[in-house]
A and B are shown apart, each in its own frame.
Chain A
Amino acid sequence: MSDQLIYASEVFLNGLMAGVLYALVALGFVLIFKASGIFNFAQGVMALFAAMTLVGIQSGQVPFAHLINAIFGTKIHHFGWEVHSIIAIILTVLVMILLAWMVQRFIFKHLVGQEPIILFMATIGLAYLLEGVADLMWGSEIKKLDVCLAEGACLPQGINVAIDEATYNLFGYGFFIDNLDITATIIAILLVTALVIFSQYTKQGRAMRAVADDHQAALSVGVSLNYIWILVWSVAGFVALVAGIMWGAKSGVQFSLSLIALKALPVLMLGGFTSIPGAIVGGLIIGVGEKLFEFFMSSGDLAGALFGFTMNATENWFAYVLALIFLVFRPQGLFGEKIIERV
């Protein structure tokens, strides 16, 4: 095999892994959009909030410490204990469920039947509110996120070494693939499997699909819309937590994390706003596409020889241009429901 092809395969694999992370964020959007028609701009902030809560609980931070200290003149910051990752994750899930309930109870319950644009504006408001609350609750400094299942077993070690060796023996060139990306891929596969089982085989999942399809009909077979919407926001909160853990572990838990929502937009335009497989395939296509495009355009041997020039940092815009092309030629995305108006 030629060197270029081997490098390209490595880039391809890395693209797939990056795509998984995009897909995770897009998944949260699709869940809520399908069930309630709300385009949840706050999905990225939810991931940030979940990751911050997880770190906060893990490290025994006192929530709202700055606020409490400012009011009472105390100097508390930490409880002085550390919480095991698994317990911290469970507690964070509970917080996300509480958040889901509050979002439904205090915002969307009052906006039932409103125009989509109004619901969308409400989620923008929610995004900024949540960002402020996250800041007030846990502080704004960049935090390091380590999820350890047991002592010394933080993330599966050695997989990338094995891949490195195997590919070295095969091609004479060892692939480098991030451990974290491999973990993210495995977890994403588990998450999607769980979601599929939930939506296909359980009563709640069936009710969720019913609500996604037709509100009136769902009511007439005894489904409480309110309950399903809380459930959907909880599931989206859980997906946000998983995305938050992965992105947080990669680049630290910081406020720019909420911007991953922007990266999910082209994924959604590609995959369609209403399709769970679409979100995943869309994420993979964007991940692979932008990595391969970058590899191709920045290489003097390929683009240089072909066009006579090279480009760098195409990753910044590739996804959006691809999304634009899709908007022109296939606005419903690859897997979205085709919009047909019968006359």
Chain B
Amino acid sequence: MLDQAEGYVTADGRKIGGVVMEMKNITLRFGGVEAIKDISFDIREGEIRAIIGPNGAGKSSMLNVISGFYIPQEGQVYYKGAPRPPMKPFEVARQGIARTFQNIALFEGMTVLDNVMTGRLTHMKTGLWAQSIWRGKAEAEETANREVAEKIIDFLEIQAIRKTPVARLPYGLKKRVELARALAAEPSLLLLDEPMAGMNVEEKEDMSRFILDVNDEFGTTIALIEHDMGVVMDLSDRVVVMDYGKKIGDGSPDEVRNNQDVIDAYLGVSHD
């Protein structure tokens, strides 16, 4: 059985709940290469969980396992207490796990609003016919979906570009739109693959603020991958550290910072 223990309270006084997602002894291979070696960790309700590690450590692979893009050869994924059978990415998404991508995967031809609305596909339930003739439940549903979308657009401060085709936006804003689309699904777990990659300091600060606000305002559980150590330590409640596909550390930012393995492998051995 899974440990459904009551959780913990963070330094800033937020209450973290039970386990939402648990990875147990996950091993992922590509041919002869082991991208992930026997890794276990959990993600708890309401927390911001970071996965860090040097390039090629297997962080993105881990995120892809959680979101169903990769199926691990060994190990078991538990979601909301139940073992999850191997699933296609779209089935995982329908279970309430939303994600963003390292290299941004947006619907470039659509406007920002359309992108965010598409994020609500899993919440659209009325039939084809009702939607075509725009009657009854379909109308009410569309209005409700639209309201959620607008709220998220307001929240992420992208009102000014609602009607702009995404292809025309600069990189930083695209990242934000992608976050908006993932949020639109009102996910029980939000996966962010390097949300701050390629950003300047200002953009990074904005994005950090949004991630914290999202977690605070909507109570969204967030798992993120990040390179920038400073950012990670400020943002996250607990951190998993990976190196060469192995887990070398797991705990609060302070614990990880003082973990000798992590210092050696990731931050480098001191040279004095």
Contact = CB atoms under 8 A, between A and B. Distances in A.
Nearest to B89: A219
B128 A204 contact: yes
B109 interface: yes
Contacts of B67: 220
Contact of B121 (A197, A206, A213): A206
A146 B117 CA distance: 44
B90 interface: yes
* Chain A interface SS verdict (over half): helix
Contacts of A222: 90-91, 93-94, 121-122, 185
B224 to A, nearest CB: 15
A198 interface: yes
A197 B124 CA distance: 16
B105 A203 contact: no
Interface string B114-151: 00011101101010100110100000000000000000
B131 A225 contact: no
Contacts of B117: 206
A209 interface: yes
Interface in B67-115: 67, 69, 88-91, 93-94, 98-101, 105-110
B132 A225 contact: no
Nearest to B115: A217
Interface string A238-255: 000000000000000000
A224 B101 contact: no
A282 to B, nearest CB: 19
B132 A197 contact: yes
Given A201-B132, A202-B132, A203-B124, A225 B90 contact: yes
Q: Indicate the size class of the contact surface on chain A.
A: 20 to 34
A219 B131 contact: no
B105 A214 contact: yes
B181 interface: yes
B88 A224 contact: yes
A257 interface: no
A207 interface: yes
Nearest to A210: B118
A256 interface: no
Contacts of B90: 218-219, 222-225
Given A202-B128, A209-B107, A214-B107, A220 B93 contact: yes
Nearest to A34: B109
Contact of B119 (A213, A216, A219, A221): A221
Return the 9 tightest CB-CB contacts between A and B, nearest first.
A222-B93, A217-B105, A213-B107, A219-B89, A203-B124, A202-B131, A222-B122, A216-B105, A222-B94
Interface of B: 67, 69, 88-91, 93-94, 98-101, 105-110, 117-119, 121-122, 124, 126, 128, 131-132, 134, 181-182, 185
